[in-house]
Amino acid sequence: HLDRIAAVDKTVNAFLYVDTERALSAARAVDEDVAAGREPASPLAGVPLALKDVFVMEGAPTTCGSKILEGWSPPYDATVTRKLLEAGVVILGKTNMDEFAMGSSTENSAFGPSRNPWDLDRIPGGSGGGSSASLAAFEAPLAIGTDTGGSIRQPGSVTGTVGVKPTYGGVSRYGLVAFSSSLDQGGPCARTVLDAALLHEVIGGHDPLDSTSIDAPVPPVVAAARDGARGDLSGMRIGIVTEFQGDGYQAGVTAAFVQAVETLKGLGAEVVEVSCPHFDYALPAYYLIAPSEASSNLARFDAMRYGLRTGDDSANSAEQVMALTREAGFGAEVKRRIMIGTYALSSGYYDAYYGQAQKVRTLITQDFEKAFESVDVLISPTTPTTAFRIGERADDPMAMYLADLCTIPANLAGTPAMSVPAGLSDEDGLPVGLQVMAPALAEPRMYKVAAAFE
């Protein structure tokens, strides 16, 4: 994998940082265990992995795709990082991402976009485009992403790989640089459903260092993926989300989705239509809640504590140093979100915007609850289009935001959802993803359907 990275990553730009020495020494430690007859630490011991640059790892530079964190070296490991290391997983390095995970293409990275290995002129999705591109380019067999509004599933969809957003609280956020704390969720990226399940069981579980971590065992997703691989979905009821089809969906995506429904029926599932009327309001609600939380979370980048600091020569107050540093260190999309969020949280506007969005969030959660009274899982296309061209939406934030139309409801409700490859579009030959959504902590049925379908 290190050779492959050396050969292709100048072009793909999936990695922001590769630590060859550290990776090789972690791999040697696993070899030594095996040679000495010791039980490997986990089924994934010795398997290489690409870590999204939003998780900290002691001593490894972490930028979150931002200039403002350049030069910062974290003094500790995220819980996810620690669990990976303890499981003997070989961390190859840190992957490229939209700045602070804000975006759907990695074009918002301060270090240049990643490219989609299927077509190098196209985006690999975002914000975790680096992680998914590394899988599709065979630079790593496993990767970690984070999904606040779709950043694991949408990159998975457009790169023909698997991406899972676990139940909120299922994977610790300790050491995950916060974007929108009530939505952020780390999760596995892989090339197969079983690989994702194996990784899910390594990184999941309760963590006293994260106050929103669920105090329950990790759902048995590996057994579910193995069960699904037998290809029998009889007795399973699957709901197509009525609101996630029609206008705005590429014909090639719709055709692949229709084909996927036929495949699921062929596996014995009963497929029905289910309406979730408030899903239409998920996108606007998300674009108030996420920027609001981001404006608060990003206040910590103040030139005093981390990374970049400019203006010491010219400024005559601490505030000015902060302002100059934030002006130089943050990119346009991050500044846009901070402004929207600060506005939405201002007294006088709070009820009209943030409060209203929170009410919509509750209605979306209720739509899910109602739907899951009659079906086991819900399905939709993961994203309305295949990978778009680099630059195509860069100047149009609204067009960029639409990439997450189908993925955002699960973040707002805190429920699990995943994207599994659903073949290639007959329009452009690019990968299409099938999204499978389940109730909170019901990951096993989601993995079962995805593994049967795969």
Closer of 107 and 404 to ligand GLN (Cβ)? 404
Q: Which of the residues 127, 172, 295, 425 is marked catalytic?
A: 127
Closer of 123 and 198 to ligand GLN (Cβ)? 123
Alpha-carbon distance of 430 to 264, in angstroms, equals 21
Closer of 176 and 274 to ligand GLN (Cβ)? 176
Active site residue 66: no
Active site residue 346: no
Tokens in use for 395?
């100047």
Residue 20 CB, shortest distance to ligand GLN, in Å, is: 28
Q: Give the full edge-to-edge strand order of the sheet including 417-424.
A: 15-18, 90-95, 48-52, 142-146, 186-190, 162-165, 417-424, 431-437, 377-381, 237-241, 270-274
According to the binding rule CB under 6 A, does residue 290 interact with ligand GLN?
A: yes
Token pair 């048995």 in the structure block, residue: 220
Question: Which of helix, strand or coil describes residue 253?
Answer: helix
Alpha-carbon distance of 141 to 132, in angstroms, equals 10
According to the binding rule CB under 6 A, does residue 252 interact with ligand GLN?
A: no
Active site residue 151: yes
Closer of 147 and 443 to ligand GLN (Cβ)? 147
Q: Which of the residues 114, 131, 132, 151 is marked catalytic?
A: 151
Residue 360 CB, shortest distance to ligand GLN, in Å, is: 16
Single out the residue of 63, 66, 134, 151 in contact with ligand GLN (rule: CB under 6 A).
Answer: 151
Single out the residue of 103, 187, 228, 329 in contact with ligand GLN (rule: CB under 6 A).
Answer: 103
Closer of 155 and 228 to ligand GLN (Cβ)? 155
Question: Which of helix, strand or coil describes residue 383?
Answer: coil
According to the binding rule CB under 6 A, does residue 149 interact with ligand GLN?
A: yes
Longest C-alpha distance within the chain, in Å? 71
* CB-based contact 364:282 (threshold 8 Å): yes
Question: Which of helix, strand or coil describes residue 432?
Answer: strand
Single out the residue of 63, 66, 81, 127 in contact with ligand GLN (rule: CB under 6 A).
Answer: 127
- Contacting ligand GLN within 155-194 (CB under 6 A): 179
According to the binding rule CB under 6 A, does residue 101 interact with ligand GLN?
A: yes
C-alpha 47 chain-centroid distance: 21
214 contact partners, CB below 8 Å, separation of at least 6:
167, 169, 170, 206, 441
* CB-based contact 110:133 (threshold 8 Å): no
Alpha-carbon distance of 249 to 87, in angstroms, equals 41
According to the binding rule CB under 6 A, does residue 62 interact with ligand GLN?
A: no
Closer of 154 and 325 to ligand GLN (Cβ)? 154
Single out the residue of 139, 147, 207, 376 in contact with ligand GLN (rule: CB under 6 A).
Answer: 147
Residue 372 CB, shortest distance to ligand GLN, in Å, is: 23
Alpha-carbon distance of 26 to 51, in angstroms, equals 15
- Contacting ligand GLN within 395-434 (CB under 6 A): 404
Q: Which residues bind ligand GLN (CB under 6 A)?
A: 101-104, 127, 146-151, 179, 290, 404
Instruction: Name the residues annotated as catalytic.
Output: 52, 127, 151
